[in-house]
Amino acid sequence: MIATQSIPSAFAADHDRLDELFVNFRTCKRTDYARAKEFFKEFKFGLQRHIVWEESILFPRFEHKTGMVKHGPTEVMRLEHRIIADRLEEVHQFVQRQDPNSDHEERLLLESLSEHNQKEEHVLYPALDRLLSDEEKADVFTEMEQTPESAYKVCCGRHE
Shortest Å, Cβ 2 to Fe ion: 18
Stretch near Fe ion under the rule CB under 5 A, chosen from 25-33, 54-62, 131-139, 152-160: 54-62
Q: Is 152 in the site for Fe ion (CB under 5 A)?
A: no
Q: Which is nearer to Fe ion, 54 or 144 (CB)?
A: 54
Cα–Cα distance measured from residue 103 to residue 26, given in angstroms and rounded to the nearest whole number = 8
Cα–Cα distance measured from residue 99 to residue 107, given in angstroms and rounded to the nearest whole number = 16
Q: Which is nearer to Fe ion, 7 or 120 (CB)?
A: 120
- Give 116's contacts (C-beta < 8 A, 6+ positions apart): 77, 80, 81, 84
Shortest Å, Cβ 113 to Fe ion: 9
Cα–Cα distance measured from residue 55 to residue 52, given in angstroms and rounded to the nearest whole number = 5
Q: Which is nearer to Fe ion, 71 or 97 (CB)?
A: 71
Q: Which is nearer to Fe ion, 21 or 36 (CB)?
A: 21
| Total Cβ atoms within 10 A of residue 35 | 14
- What are the C-alpha distances in Å from 12 to residues 16, 68, 72, 95, 125? 6, 23, 21, 26, 9
| Residue 38 CA, distance from chain mean position | 17
Q: Is 47 in the site for Fe ion (CB under 5 A)?
A: no
Shortest Å, Cβ 65 to Fe ion: 18
Stretch near Fe ion under the rule CB under 5 A, chosen from 29-37, 47-55, 132-140, 150-158: 47-55
Q: Is 120 in the site for Fe ion (CB under 5 A)?
A: yes
Q: Contact positions toward Fe ion, by CB under 5 A? A: 54, 120
